[in-house]
Chains A and B, each alone.
Chain A
Amino acid sequence: MTALRTVIVGASHAGAQLAASLRQEGWDGEIVLVGDESPVPYQRPPLSKAYLAGKSAFEELEIRSAEFYDKRKISLLDARVEAIDHSAGHLTLSSGQSLAYDHLALCTGARPRRLLVPGAHLSGVCYLRTAMDVDLIRAAAQPGSVAVIVGGGYIGLEVAASLRALGLDVTVLEATERVLERVTAPEVSAFFQRVHQEEGVSIRTGALVEAFTGETKVREVLLSNGEAVPADLVIVGIGVEPNTELAASAGLEVDNGIVIDDRARTSDRNIVAAGDCTSRYMASYGGRVRLECVPSAGEQAKVAAATISGKSKEIAALPWFWSDQYDVKLQIAGLNTGFDEVVLSGDPKLDRDFTCFYLRQGELIAADCVNRPRDFVVSKRLLTQASRGVGRAELTSAVSDAGA
């Protein structure tokens, strides 16, 4: 009898963890990890941080060494999967070859949303998702040149901080009235706006990009109010879209991501999926949620591996996230979706350390901790362990203990 084969499509955080977890679960069949990006899976979070700022080399980004996969008989296959024929149990690769599988896992991730305006094709207009994207940006980022960042989300702001460190002149254009509008309270947005201004970044809110102009290379960014902002380099960071085409064409249910259940199974119970490409119903948020973070990709991948191995695990871990900008380390526990109250500890108007706790109907749901690791650890624990809600009184006492 030949060994069963699991094929994992997408070799990044989710795919790499899934392969490792399969072995940890004792799965001894064949594992093929197919990716179209880099021979060995690497970490994405440092791309906009240390790697862009030139503080780490590409080799340091590997999630695990090449030897790890080799030793555990996990084959890394550099290829793009074009189609799934699930009834026949095989995939078609871009080379035209086919690859048979017994178990299939989709970890196809997400890609940057494109800004579809005139001039978007000009050279110097960049996106940031891969190490190759960063290499291009770095080559263009000469000290003293002018960078315009479109989008004031975490990635845009991290890029702003890293490019300042490289000595560029940086402007951030944000379409809404404040940076981080989608993800934080106004107090936290105001804090980041202040810090970036103190570091010499010009932040323009309510700035809608209408076009890029230049001959072959971008020269200016045109705003809807008629203004032209000069630019040698543009980095667009306006969010990501899940890579769901492969799943959709195989007939799997897709709803802002490949729909999975608590055991990481897609609408076809024999195919699992994990990471940025998935969306899952989360009762505590009253709907389907697509998370975009490494811890969640890892958690879903572990559960998917358990499911393939015939074990029963459920996706449970609390979503959390971090971001580094200048000397500011932000750690976020939980999701603040639907918050109706915030409690501040510290002064975000003056200092560079504070915590913003988010409450919904009087109960803690998330915390943005700025240079306050103790608050992060306490919040994460409160949110993870609480079988019942944590109210304001309990929160206040836990936080004053942390400050001690």
Chain B
Amino acid sequence: MTVVRFVSHDGKTHAVPVEEGQSLMQVATNNAVPGIDGDCGGEAACGTCHVIVDPQWSECVGPPGADEEEMLAMNPEREPTSRLSCQMVVSDVWDGLSVRLPEFQM
């Protein structure tokens, strides 16, 4: 079973089982991970699903796509490994992946 960890701003960890092919935002909302709203349902239109990928994993997970980058560019909580979780399609090789949540979503 592949497990991804969401670490909230106050340091609490939610370990969530994931399946290949799901969006990471969907995984988070289906498991009530606090701090991920996914207001636009995954259209890269709202920016309320921002996560910061553990730098050790950033190569494996990959960089944001072009539209996604445009949504992240002006976000004050942007970090080098920021992603919109709705644009991240879970892969089996992500077992052990850890992502951090920003203090505020858009």
Contacts and interface: CB of A to CB of B under 8 A. Distances in A.
Contacts of A23: 32
Nearest to A379: B74
Contacts of A24: 32, 34
B41 A377 contact: no
Nearest to A385: B76
Contacts of B71: 373, 376-377
A331 B30 contact: no
A80 interface: no
B29 interface: yes
Contacts of A378: 74
Contacts of A68: 29-32
Interface in B29-64: 29-32, 34, 37, 39-41, 43-47
Output the residue of B47, B74, B76 with the most chain A CB within 10 A.
B74
A64 B31 CA distance: 9
B75 A377 contact: yes
Contact of B39 (A46, A298, A381): A298
Can you list the 9 inter-chain pairs with the closest CB atoms, starting with the nearest? Answer: A373-B70, A377-B74, A322-B45, A373-B71, A43-B41, A295-B39, A374-B74, A65-B30, A68-B30
Contacts of A46: 41
A374 B46 contact: no
19 contacts: A24-B32, A24-B34, A43-B41, A45-B40, A63-B29, A64-B29, A68-B30, A68-B32, A294-B39, A294-B40, A294-B41, A295-B39, A322-B45, A322-B46, A373-B44, A373-B71, A376-B71, A378-B74, A381-B76
B73 interface: yes
Interface residues of A, number: 29
Nearest to A330: B45
A228 interface: no
Contacts of A295: 39, 46
B67 interface: yes
A376 B67 CA distance: 13
B15 to A, nearest CB: 15
A67 interface: yes
Given A374-B74, A377-B106, A402-B74, A324 B43 contact: yes
Interface string A358-372: 000000000000000
Interface residues of B, number: 22
Contacts of B43: 45, 322, 324
B25 to A, nearest CB: 11
A313 interface: no
A23 B29 CA distance: 13
A376 to B, nearest CB: 8
Output the residue of B40, B41, B44, B67 with the most chain A CB within 10 A.
B41
Interface in A10-56: 20, 23-24, 43, 45-46
Contacts of B47: 377
Interface in A283-340: 294-295, 298, 320, 322, 324, 329, 331
Contacts of B46: 295, 320, 322
A67 B30 contact: yes
Given A45-B40, A298-B39, A331 B73 contact: no
B33 to A, nearest CB: 10
Contacts of B73: 373-374, 377, 402
Given A24-B34, A64-B29, A377-B106, A329 B76 contact: no
Contacts of A401: 74
A20 B34 CA distance: 10
A143 B70 CA distance: 35
Contacts of B74: 374, 377-378, 381, 401-402
A380 B71 CA distance: 12
Contacts of A45: 40-41, 43
Given A298-B39, A377-B73, 8 more contacts: A20-B32, A24-B32, A68-B29, A294-B41, A295-B39, A324-B43, A329-B45, A377-B74
A64 B47 CA distance: 18
A46 B37 CA distance: 17
A51 B29 CA distance: 21
A349 interface: no
Contacts of A377: 47, 71, 73-75, 106
A72 interface: yes
Output the residue of B31, B37, B45 with the most chain A CB within 10 A.
B45
